[in-house]
Structure 1
Amino acid sequence: MTRIPTAVTRLLGIDLPVIQAGMSWASSSSTLPLAVSRAGGLGVVAAGPMRRDDLVRVLDEMTAGTDRPWAVNLPLYRQGADEIIDLLLARRPPVLIASQGGPRRYLERFRAVGTQCLHVVAGAEHARKAADAGVDGLVVVGAEAGGHPPPTMVTTQVLVRAVVRAVPDTPVIASGGIADGAGLAAMLALGAGAAQFGTRFLATREATVHPEYKSAVVAAGVEDTRTVGHGLGLIRALDNDFTARMGRLEASAAELDVRRKEFQASSLKDAALHGEVREGKVEAGQSAGLVDAVLPAADVVEHIVTEYRAALMRLPMPTVTE
């Protein structure tokens, strides 16, 4: 078994510093998380859009399907979050990844049942507060990320380094713009203990999104995403008819209510489940331009490790001169 030991792998009990992002609909099932955890990384169930009964079923499948660590991602702003917290406390997932809220809301209760707690942050100040609260680790999301990038739009490279310097004793997972082993090597060089891969795992056989969604990710170039929804809940998505209309409204400084109506008329669910890739919110990161095939998730993990080793071999070693 290949192992790449880091502060994050030691914390979570995983072999490889490869974290699959919790992605609504794409990993709101057990299929993708199980594949990633079995391959040595950390698979993550996206609880955000899930009904309670569906989440119970998936938690049962995760528990029965692997003895390796896995995680549940919970956006704290979701409707019924307190009920989901109570459910997770009873089921004791190995790892919780929480976002969109403060860690004091949940931390002590999950620590008491033995769940490792990671918190998603988008800046050094937020990271300090979460570290001071006592979280076990941080997921640092930069501007290149799909879904919800930081409003400041600071790049992953700069943001990760700033957070590592701000909280040097807290394990950090880098997220945003990372699609292969060279990206993993770069993030470890910055001081992170792992990288989180979202868009790369969208284009896998196990991701439970429509084939048209996966095809759109594979076809995209690095310049084919756009951020829209400023003041409404910023997202990064693939360029399509929806983002073009939103872009025109934002460029013309249209009234907030007008922009909100257009923004809410489109949904991630339509794109992910029904293949509506022209009018839906096809959330994906800039790293879509580095993804060129739909593969089994275990193959993606294996390729990341191989590419990581190759990246290390390309680095020049220092020489001593007189």
Structure 2
Amino acid sequence: MGTKTIRPAIPTPFTRMVGVDHPIVLAPMAGAVESDLAAAVGNAGGYPIMPCSWSSKETIDTELANLRAKTDAPFAVNLCLDMPQDARLEYCLSHRPNAVHFFWGDAAPFVEHVHANGALVMQTVSTSKEAKRAVEAGVDVLIAQGWEAGGHVKGTVATLPLLPAVADAAGSVPVLAAGGISDGRGLAAALCLGASGVVMGTRFLATPESAAHADYIAHVIAAQHSDTVHETDLYNVGWSNAAHRVLRNALADRWLEEGRPDNQTRHRSGEIIAKRGGNSITAYQSTTPHHTMTGEIEALSMWAGQSVGLVNSVDPTGAIVDSIMAKAHAALRLP
């Protein structure tokens, strides 16, 4: 079981609701977030969201049990609603998470059941209209995801204009900002715009606790703000019609230069480029480069947000949380 270190806190409605010290939430990056990274964020006083959307019952049971063994911090589980999740929801609820986070869909049909199981409901939204509907349905926490975010991004509005609009629609419901935030200045700005905390993914990729492949992490560290692309039909094998932001690479550049050809005619279509255990990964497959993968890591979907230019080194998760909080205090001129 990890031990929390003491850092100057910035209490918000969100931190008080879930019982954590800091308004820093770990994004549920499937393939990069496993129990080690989630526990490290929890032990540093933040709030981890565990990715469970594509996991088997055995994986969910193992990862959530491992997380419980490494930290007593509260945590949420993430489920993507672009596919049926009723069975996974039951698996997750059996582990008594603090909250269930629903992404890419409407949480309303699940609110009553999740509440009856003693958990909060979180939902990612990309418009103020979605925010209003979620609040009316009884969702407890909203995540306003801006277009700058890495990975899969449903909306087309940037975080800066989206966040205050969602905060206005949310009323007393806490709102978390996601997209384009990698340090304490971003946290401070989000708080000033009405957020109750931030969700961060890209920054936590470059940590010793991350499950991401070392080559992927190296590309994240080397990247600049302009080195990402936002597309719908690039890494669409396995999850089609889902917009996403990834680092540019040779595969993506050729696809763009050739005018975004379809899945049947594009370069290397169907070709196996990597493996994870006994599983083969083809070109353009939607899958995070995991540390156990072998093959052409650079050609895989290296998810990253536009704040990637602020990620310049591999640092322990606890040190990152320390830095975020120190910079937020300085930016807000807090003692």
Work out whether the TM-score is over 0.5.
yes
Q: Matches of residues 230-269 of structure 1 in structure 2 within 5 Å? A: 230=233, 232-249=241-258, 252=259, 254=261, 258=265, 262=269, 265-269=283-287
Identify the structure with the greater helix proportion: 1
Consecutive unaligned residues in structure 1, runs of 5 or more: 315-322
| TM-superposition CA deviations, 1:72-119 (whole Å, max 9, x none) | 1111224x6221011122222112111122112321111011111110
Report the AA paired with residue 311 of structure 1: A
Partner of 2:143: 139
What is the SS of the residue equivalent to 1:271?
coil
Partner of 2:29: 23
**Offset of residue 155 of structure 1:** 0.7
Question: Structure 1 residues 190, 30: closer, same or farther in 2, change over 3 A?
Answer: same
1:37 aligns with 2:37: no
Q: Matches of residues 216-231 of structure 1 in structure 2 within 5 Å? A: 216-230=219-233
Partner of 2:12: 6
Which deviates further from its counterpart, 155-164 or 186-195? 155-164
Partner of 1:272: 290
Percent identity reads: 35
Partner of 1:149: 153
1:167 aligns with 2:170: yes
What is the SS of the residue equivalent to 2:308?
helix
Q: Count how many residue pairs are aligned between Structure 1 and Structure 2.
A: 309
Distance 1:49 1:179 in 2: 26
Partner of 1:319: none
Distance 2:251 2:109 in 1: 36
Judge conservation of contact 2:127–2:155 (CA < 8 Å) in 1. no
The alignment yields a C-alpha RMSD, in angstroms, of: 2.1
What is the SS of the residue equivalent to 2:152?
coil
**Offset of residue 233 of structure 1:** 1.5
User: Structure 1-normalised TM-score?
Assistant: 0.90
What is the SS of the residue equivalent to 2:147?
coil
What is the SS of the residue equivalent to 1:119?
strand
**Offset of residue 47 of structure 1:** 1.0
Which deviates further from its counterpart, 237-246 or 128-137? 237-246
Which of 53, 69, 92 does residue 58 from structure 2 map onto? 53
Which of 71, 80, 94 does residue 75 from structure 1 map onto? 80
Distance 1:104 1:195 in 2: 23
Which of 101, 105, 113 does residue 101 from structure 1 map onto? 105
